[in-house]
A and B are shown apart, each in its own frame.
Chain A
Amino acid sequence: MATTVVGQRLSRVDARRKVTGAATYSAEHRIEGLLYGVIVNGTVARGTVSRISVDEALAHPGVLRILTDFSKLRLAHPVDRIAFYGQPIAVVVAETLEAATHGASLVEATYEQQDAVTDFDTPDIPSQTPADEPDHSRGDPAGALASAQVKVDLELTSARENHNPIELPSTIARWQDGRLTLWDKTQWSQGAARTVAGALGIAVGNVRVHNEFLGGGFGSGIQTYDHVILAAFAAREVGSPVKVVLTRRQFYYGTGFRLASRHRIALGSSTAGRVSALIYDVRIENARYQTYTDGLIDLPQFLYGVPNTRTAYRVTPVDIHSPCSMRGPGVVLGNFALETAMDQLAHELTVDPIELRLRNEPTQDEVTQLPFSTRKLRECYETGARRFGWSRRQPKPGSRTEGDLLIGMGMATASYHNNRRDSSARARIHADGTVEVFAASADMGPGTTTSVMQVAADALGLPASAVTFRLGDSSYPTAPLHAAACTMASVGSAVHTTCNALKAEFIRRAVADPDSPLHGENPADVHVRDGQLETSGAQDTYRDILRRAALPSLDITGNWGPGEADSRISTYGNGAVFAEVSVDPLLGLVRVRRIFAAYDVGRVISPKLAHSQAIGGMVGGIGMALLEGTVTDHRDGRIVNASLADYLVPVNADVPDLDAASSTPRTHKPIRSA
């Protein structure tokens, strides 16, 4: 396959629309007869609503209807009682947002309150082993740790965090003839359609979800939360389209979050730096009404070759709403524990942290006992160390100062499972030679609209300008959730397969057509470049083939799936991340000065977008390590800092020069960018 568009440093095809306001986000669609819904959130963490008074709110001018009975809806949490602080107890529908907001403030509820526990560190509350995360053990971890020459044994904690994309959760719901259309800020239109259909008891075929533009997601838009269902419910009840947009404060109760976690990690090593024992116990906060685990034990189990390993995962259900995936879900928390322990061990051994990792590089995935598809961590360490200037590091803590500041360097290994899922696409060539490719995917920011177009353009032998990739509509061919780094590997692969099949169909038609210059040629000898189908002597075009057949267009739908590949190989993207920080020892103030990372993420389709993803991940890491943390007032379960004024995210002053390099694979791996 000629690759001319893949690998080009293209800017986003929708960049101009985004920066000029021409891109229409979910809440911005102009729908005739639109009404506004505002959710009233409960103010206890556990109990029942004993009385709800709506009269005053209903009397407010513009307020049309107040819905308080959700008993017919199937929501993720119980509907007959309060399971968490902030649970919706009413929806106020009004002619204007202002009237609905004021009306919501006039709704009065009284509760039959029960004792609630929202702090998962509360002593003597039970924890459980989640069904999907059984304990893992190999060798004799306890014995190996006891007899190890050098040990580290750490207790670590991480705070709850909220995604805080700039675009807030927003839904417009419109019913027409029993069919529901949603404009929803979701990372998975087809998942949203299924959830809403299930919640309302209607056929999924009667629900269509549009999500062409997303203003960030980070995992907060994977699941379909109450506000989406309540918008659809309210629209059906009042017989008019209804829009619901959560406020920033409501966002903290109305979607999931990265769960808080408690870790114990112990490593046992020989004095030569060969790690013989690893024990990892982790415990996370969870809702009572559903179990969500987050893959924390994934990397500690396999990232290094450790013959005696034990991991144990526990969840502690309390009276909170359910956590969910958040950028680098789970993996970043488990890796925080593992890499902190490895750093500590390197310090104890006085071995360079990179050297320690190299000494424990596994030859296979020791959990599944499968070979790695590729594992170029060694190259990542080397490239990263060279470009970052690791040789200037002074290993003794506190040995490099600037004025009152301590300056330090550190590094960590990055790894993420290469997720691929069944996916479909439709590709259509029009009589004017332009191409549209369709899949029910989404683009929350990585640039999927651009990068998947690049895949299609190369498969069809066309320039980028001829191809448009259309996503953001649940009626398009099946796509997986736009999350977990699976979009390019899944949707990109489906588009690649489908466009190749469409090209083959055109070639088949050409060689069979007596009027084609390619008539009678062997299809295998026909190549496509710049829209020209050619052999050494003759050529035809997509346009001419359609013209001769008197077709306005020709399309094909194709499917792709990873099949059983995961039962044969262990596939991960890897990297080595290096940081230089200053620490003010008086104040404990940490400032990141620079970060450099060397990644092996397989074949990079769109280098500019991939680079944006790499440095964007670093910004997320700065937030996670130094700034972010959701604080709960455990007296009632209220979140104290549920605003962008109080919840710190990295701003420009926190983000220094960031850079990343991607290795070029020798062989083609499954493609991915985000």
Chain B
Amino acid sequence: MALDIRGGVVRGARVAVGGVGTVPWRLPKVEEALVGRRPGRRTWTAAAALAAEGAVPLSENAFKVKLVERTVRRQLMTI
């Protein structure tokens, strides 16, 4: 996770997760949702909610949808 924050605004964001697919996975929708926003809990929660958008889970990995959203949110909260 790399965020470029200047003047109180997220100017650029690169977010990737591991352990959710066969390769590390970039999360462009989360990145788009961050750029142009002010850092803070509301921004983090809204962006993280997009982390698994479009995912088609199977029975054995369905838990990862919620987990990846929350992991991204938790990581954003450390900023």
A residues touching B (Cβ–Cβ < 8 Å)?
404, 584, 586-587
Contacts and interface: CB of A to CB of B under 8 A. Distances in A.
Interface of B: 67, 70-71, 73-74, 77
A404 B77 contact: yes
A524 B70 CA distance: 75
B63 to A, nearest CB: 10
Contacts of B70: 586-587
Nearest to A631: B60
A576 to B, nearest CB: 34
A456 to B, nearest CB: 53
Contacts of A587: 67, 70-71, 74
Contacts of A584: 74
Nearest to A633: B60
B79 to A, nearest CB: 14
10 contacts: A404-B74, A404-B77, A584-B74, A586-B70, A586-B73, A586-B74, A587-B67, A587-B70, A587-B71, A587-B74
Please classify the interface of chain A as helix (H, G, I), strand (E, B), loop, or mixed, using the class held by over half of its residues.
Answer: loop
Most buried by A among B67, B70, B73, B77: B70
Given A586-B73, A587-B70, A587-B71, 7 more contacts: A404-B74, A404-B77, A584-B74, A586-B70, A586-B74, A587-B67, A587-B74
Contacts of B77: 404
The 9 closest A-B pairs by CB, nearest first: A586-B70, A586-B74, A587-B70, A587-B74, A587-B71, A586-B73, A587-B67, A584-B74, A404-B77
Contacts of A404: 74, 77
Contacts of B73: 586
Nearest to B69: A586
A586 B73 CA distance: 9
A404 B75 CA distance: 12
B70 to A, nearest CB: 5
Nearest to B67: A587
B16 to A, nearest CB: 18
Nearest to B73: A586
A647 B73 CA distance: 27
Contacts of B74: 404, 584, 586-587
Contacts of B71: 587
A584 B75 CA distance: 12
A587 B77 CA distance: 13
A406 to B, nearest CB: 14
Nearest to A589: B74
Nearest to B71: A587
A546 B46 CA distance: 87
A168 to B, nearest CB: 27
A4 B67 CA distance: 57
A288 B67 CA distance: 38
Contacts of B67: 587
A261 B71 CA distance: 30
A598 B9 CA distance: 55
A118 to B, nearest CB: 15
A584 B67 CA distance: 12
A587 B74 CA distance: 8
A584 B71 CA distance: 11
A586 B70 CA distance: 6
B17 to A, nearest CB: 13
A659 B19 CA distance: 35
Nearest to A585: B70
A404 B44 CA distance: 15
B1 to A, nearest CB: 15
A584 B74 CA distance: 10
Contacts of A586: 70, 73-74
